[in-house]
Structure 1
Amino acid sequence: MPNIEIKPEGTHPIQFSVMLKNRAGALSSLVRLLRSANIEVIGLSVQDSRDAAMARIVVSDSDATITIFREKGIPHTTSELVVIELKEAGRDLAQVLDVLRSAETNLDFAYSLMPHPKGASLMAMHLEDTQFGASVLARAGFKVYYEEDLIR
């Protein structure tokens, strides 16, 4: 049997995880820093603790964000995400979860993104296997968004 390579349709969006001191204005300062470079935060999830907060962000320009974080010495980690469009939130969410369960792939975490300029509701997911999860969801009829689709 020939070795078949499945090629991605684009670059998967990147999530940045940044640990912020739990003080007033920390997240605001981060967002202002990015906006000063014309980078928009298009997805945000914050997990708070007593001393620090974990901010997970999806931005309009990952490469520029990496450069800024390196120049400013902002510690961060990155993860690939699968981003899909949900046309009917309740029905589509249940179907997404059923598709992932049927494919026996794990969903580590998920959160909504800001509405797409064309009005679509988007959900970001960190899956155990990004490429496999994206292909399974695309075959099930979900529109998969790549980084190039999210640039604003």
Structure 2
Amino acid sequence: MSYGSDVETPYETMRGREFPAIRQFTIFLENRVGQLLEVVRRFEGTGIRIVALSINDAAECAFVRFLISDPDRGREILERSGLAIIETDLIGVELPEGPQPLLRVCTALLQAELNIIQAYPLIVRPHGKPAVAIMVEGIDLAMKTLHEKGFRIITEADLDGDDVTGDGV
């Protein structure tokens, strides 16, 4: 007897190209010359672009966090290379026009009592506009809050599209 064989519950996740969060990969690199270059070269010739990058240096190692234009294929490349990776969900937010756009994002999240844990700019500009990647406590509430306040959320599909401009990535 097979348990659940007569149940038609789909086993698909909400994750994927249409999930509004964007995936960040964190890798740990030995703190020596050329380590970052080796990682970046793994994407050479694949059509995958690094669209955001943050490096936190420590005495023995560096934590490299980045977003790529095709997270599914990129994860495969990183896994095949034997690198230990951590995958985390971030929110991509297009910065609005006008003075102090980051202040408006921070204010919206503060009003919802949400902390920003990490933030860094996207190297590319989806839709030709500046954007930031942020890690927050309570990602679902943060996305809902930002959406309700009129902010445009950047998705993984926006990072892989043809409507992406950058300055020499």
Which TM-score applies when normalising by structure 1? 0.88
1:112, distance to aligned residue in structure 2 (A): 0.4
User: Which residue identity lines up with residue 77 of structure 2 in the other structure?
Assistant: I
Which residue in the other structure is 1:4 paired with? Answer: none
1:55, distance to aligned residue in structure 2 (A): 0.4
- Give CA-to-partner distance per residue, 1:87-127, whole Å, 9 cap, x none: 34752111111111110112111000113254211100001
Which residue in the other structure is 2:96 paired with? Answer: 87
Which residue in the other structure is 2:86 paired with? Answer: 77
Which residue in the other structure is 1:103 paired with? Answer: 112
Which residue in the other structure is 2:70 paired with? Answer: 61
Query: CA 1:50 to 1:36, structure 2 compared with 1: closer, same or farther past 3 Å?
Result: farther
Please give the residue correspondences for 1:10-49 in structure 2 after superposition, counting only pairs within 5 Å.
Answer: 10-11=18-19, 12-49=21-58
Identity %: 29
**Count of residues paired in the alignment:** 146
Which residue in the other structure is 2:156 paired with? Answer: 147
Unaligned runs of 5+ in 1: 1-6
Which of structures 1 and 2 has the bigger CA Rg?
A: 2
Q: Whole-Å Cα distance in 1 between the matches of residues 29 and 99 of structure 2?
A: 33
Checking the alignment, whether the CA contact within 8 Å between 2:126 and 2:158 is kept in structure 1 is: no
1:37, distance to aligned residue in structure 2 (A): 2.2
Runs ≥4 in structure 1, deviation > 6 angstroms?
none
Unaligned runs of 5+ in 2: 1-13, 162-169
For 1:87, what is the secondary structure of its paired residue? Answer: coil
User: Which residue identity lines up with residue 140 of structure 2 in the other structure?
Assistant: Q
Query: CA 1:89 to 1:75, structure 2 compared with 1: closer, same or farther past 3 Å?
Result: farther
1:150, distance to aligned residue in structure 2 (A): 1.0
1:61, distance to aligned residue in structure 2 (A): 0.6
Question: Where is the helix percentage greater, Structure 1 or Structure 2?
Answer: 1
Query: CA 1:90 to 1:74, structure 2 compared with 1: closer, same or farther past 3 Å?
Result: farther
For 2:43, what is the secondary structure of its paired residue? Answer: helix
